[in-house]
Amino acid sequence: MTDLQVINDDVMGGQSRSSLVRTVAGLLFEGDLSLLNGGGFASFRASLRLAPDVTALQVAVSGDERRYRFVLRTDVGRGAPQYQAPFLAPRARTMLRFLAGDFVARFRGRPAAAPSLRFADVREFGLLIGEGQAGPFRVELEVPHGE
């Protein structure tokens, strides 16, 4: 895993802040979500390649019991959709399992027409928090792996 990148609403004038650091367990994503100036999201992305025969993704997560979206991208171009699956970040470390059908294609926050997700085509993964959840957030996760 390389190419860690934080993307917050400040790209559109918002004031949310976040950071992403590597930990012994994987990654720690934390910050403060602000709704000022039309803002309200924080996210990160990192490169990820999966084996061609992967049928499900597993990722261990612990956090603050807030709503997040697990994000996969098959095309890293600016106009490419993201495939998103919502989850609640449990306080205790929990293994989450995602099937391809759990993901919905979205572009700039709206549903998008796109081919069905194939894990073999994934190039990036990430997390997104938004949906009007102002305030501090914190989630720790392993890098996802296939099964």
pLDDT tens track for 26-59: 999 999 999 999 889 999 999 999 999 999 999 9
In a domain, 86, yes or no: no
Q: Over 9-74, what HEC string results? A: HHHHCCCCEEEEEECCCCEEEEEEECCHHHCCCEEEEEECCCCCCCCEEEEEEEECCCEEEEEEEC
In a domain, 66, yes or no: yes
The mean pLDDT of 12-36, rounded to a whole number, is 94
Distance separating alpha carbons of residues 29 and 140, to the nearest angstrom: 6
In a domain, 87, yes or no: no
- pLDDT of 1 over the 60 cut: no
In a domain, 97, yes or no: no
In a domain, 102, yes or no: no
In a domain, 101, yes or no: no
Percent of the chain residues past pLDDT 70, beyond the cut: 99
pLDDT in tens, 75-126: 877 888 999 999 999 999 999 999 999 999 999 888 899 999 999 999 999 9
In a domain, 111, yes or no: no
Domain enclosing residue 23, as ranges: 5-81+117-146
In a domain, 130, yes or no: yes
Q: How many domains does the chain have?
A: 1
